[in-house]
Amino acid sequence: MTVLEDAPATEGVPAPGEPQVDFDTDPSRYRHWRYEIDGETAWVYLDVAEDGGLVPGYELKLNSYDLGVDIELYDLTQRLRFSHPEVRSVVLTSGKDSNFCAGANIRMLAQSSHSWKVNFCKFTNETRNGIEDMTAHSGQTWVAALNGTAAGGGYELALACETILLVNDRSSAVALPEVPLLGVLPGTGGLTRITDKRHVRKDRADIFATKSEGFPGPKAVEWKLVDETVSRKQWDATVRERAAEAAAASSRPTGATGIALPPLQREVTEDAIRYPNVRCEIDRDARTETVTVLGPEAGTVPESLERIHALGADFWPLAMTRELDDLILRLRTNELEIGTWLVKTRGSVEGALAFERVIAEHSGSDWLVNEIRHYFKRTLKRLDVTSRSLIALIEPGSCFAVALLELALACDRQYMLEGTFEDADEEQDPAQLVLTASNFGAFPMGNGLTRLQSRFWGDDETLAALEPGTCLTGAQAEEAGLVTDAPDDIDYEDEIRILLEERASLSPDALTGMEANHRFVGPETMETRIFGRLTAWQNWIFLRPNASGAEGALRRYGTGRKADFDRKRV
């Protein structure tokens, strides 16, 4: 993880002292985490360096965390997935005696700008969802071994695990103290997971979330807040037993060899970020970023699984996904005033189809190909919850086919040129969209639906008319409902210009709320509740003086003075 230059003190960017950051790190640079591989189990220790805050102004006491701590955790989870296929269970515990984690650092929250707090909560949510995805789809089941009190975000981290053990020592407890102590909500899914995942009764959930000291082991077990409470004497043996049980039930292969995840190759200038497979050009006057994914060329597909494993991180689907994931995080965190992302692809449709066949053939049987598919799924989900206007531009030379078509379907609008550009410097083939089986279930959204199902929610007839293997030009794609508009060469550039000018004139706040409502249709899931309902309320609460004002709970915490609340309920 690297801290870049401080951002200017202007509205809409981090406050003074809040850095622009990148998300690069590796185990040799971890300050807050360490892990050990013991046979089929990885032992992951949270051991936060008090002086290791991402920015000055606070100490990370009691294993509390900031964005820098979670950047390391995300990197750690990725390395367990790709570099350690032998791992079948993961034990999450504390490297400090008698304390697991005090949650998000309160001083950090109190001094941070609104945008910093929101992006911090969003990233930590995504990381915890990723832990649950590891248990569900990677065969690496997480067990939380709480060897001390887990409060706030510390307990929320445990809630992402499949099993929670709490030491029974008469002092350790689990708690969600945000409402009574800070005037805010648990920011990473705690309220939702205790009801939706652990099935705590809503009246008990109400009591628990307003009781700052929380509950010790026996009470926590009775109320389903943890699975088991264990004495200090039996602690080590019981944790190892539960880890072994999780490993025995895992679907992870035996005898597999992992791959290395080397640092990304990235060139950053004032108005561009470029990787080998992904490009981003920034137009600050227009407040747009053009993100172009470079697809594979025909004839570059590995012929065997052995070759795929030999390529490792250079295998195109994995290399592209790592770069796109990193770009989304960097833009979302550091480029707050660029409100519209234009999404393009360039490359061979035939190449994309060839890679699709390889992924489809092996994702059910090979652990690495399976991990790559789920990684792209999670990266698309990160795009889904990004608060920017997303516009797909489908032009000659595009390769919006198979998995890359999901990028267009994730956008708020899609514009596809019908025909070709008449004044092009070289001969062109008309743009085309290609549907394959992967668009019908391989990459579900947070609401459990495919992007096609979300697009045609309530219109089963139109959805049923779409078939894998379909190749569509602009007019055909518009007729099928897959694009917003398909203007010809005469109107295309003017229509895009007017669209972007109109978008730039609208309230960013209103656009964020509108887009978030439109993207997630149909059934509500635990994931959509966390990113939708919870996030919306938390955003509002973070802005209120009861929490963030000079006399609010976040500012007065630890001063010995109670918050001065505005008592009106609105």
pLDDT for 464-475, tens place per residue?
Answer: 999 999 999 999
Q: Is the domain of 162 the same as that of 78?
A: yes
Q: Is the domain of 424 the same as that of 325?
A: yes
Q: Is the domain of 475 the same as that of 335?
A: yes
Q: Is the domain of 315 the same as that of 456?
A: yes
Q: Which of 472, 489, 517 is the last residue of a domain?
A: 517
The two structure tokens encoding residue 490: 């005469």
Q: Is residue 234 part of a domain?
A: yes
What is the per-residue pLDDT for 494?
A: 96
Q: Is residue 531 part of a domain?
A: no
Q: Is the domain of 144 the same as that of 274?
A: no
Q: Is residue 19 part of a domain?
A: yes
Q: Is residue 525 part of a domain?
A: no
Q: Is residue 551 part of a domain?
A: no
**pTM of the prediction?**
0.94
Residues of the chain under the 70 pLDDT cut: 1-18
Q: Is the domain of 355 the same as that of 446?
A: yes
CA separation for the pair 250, 173 (Å, rounded)? 29
What is the per-residue pLDDT for 429?
A: 85
What is the per-residue pLDDT for 222?
A: 98
Q: Is residue 191 part of a domain?
A: yes
Q: Is residue 322 part of a domain?
A: yes
Structural domains counted in the chain: 2
The CATH number of the domain holding residue 416 is 3.90.226.10
Q: Is the domain of 83 the same as that of 130?
A: yes
What is the per-residue pLDDT for 11?
A: 34
Alpha helices (H) along 223-304: 235-248
Q: Is the domain of 319 the same as that of 418?
A: yes
Bridge-based pairing of strands 41-46 and 33-38 is antiparallel
DSSP letter string, 350-397: HHHHHHHHHHHHHTTT-HHHHHHHHHHHHHHHHHHT--SEEEEEE-TT
What is the per-residue pLDDT for 17?
A: 56
Tens digits of per-residue pLDDT, 316-372?
A: 999 999 999 999 999 999 999 999 999 999 999 999 999 998 898 898 889 999 999
Q: Which of 470, 502, 517 is the last residue of a domain?
A: 517
The two structure tokens encoding residue 309: 């494993």
Q: Is the domain of 484 the same as that of 400?
A: yes
Q: Is residue 570 part of a domain?
A: no
CA separation for the pair 499, 124 (Å, rounded)? 33
Considering Cα of 305, then 306, then 308, then 312, what sign does the dihedral take?
Answer: positive
17: helix, strand or coil = coil
Cβ 235 vs Cβ 172: under 8 Å: no
């007729």: which residue's tokens?
Answer: 479
Q: Is the domain of 321 the same as that of 451?
A: yes
Q: Is the domain of 409 the same as that of 480?
A: yes
What is the per-residue pLDDT for 16?
A: 52
* Residue span of the structural domain in which 174 resides: 3-248
Find, among 107, 91, 106, the residue nearest to 46 by Cα. Answer: 91
CA separation for the pair 474, 424 (Å, rounded)? 18
Q: Is the domain of 222 the same as that of 295?
A: no
Q: Which of 213, 248, 283 is the last residue of a domain?
A: 248
What is the per-residue pLDDT for 558?
A: 85
493: CB partners within 8 A, 6+ apart: none
Considering Cα of 422, then 428, then 429, then 435, what sign does the dihedral take?
Answer: negative
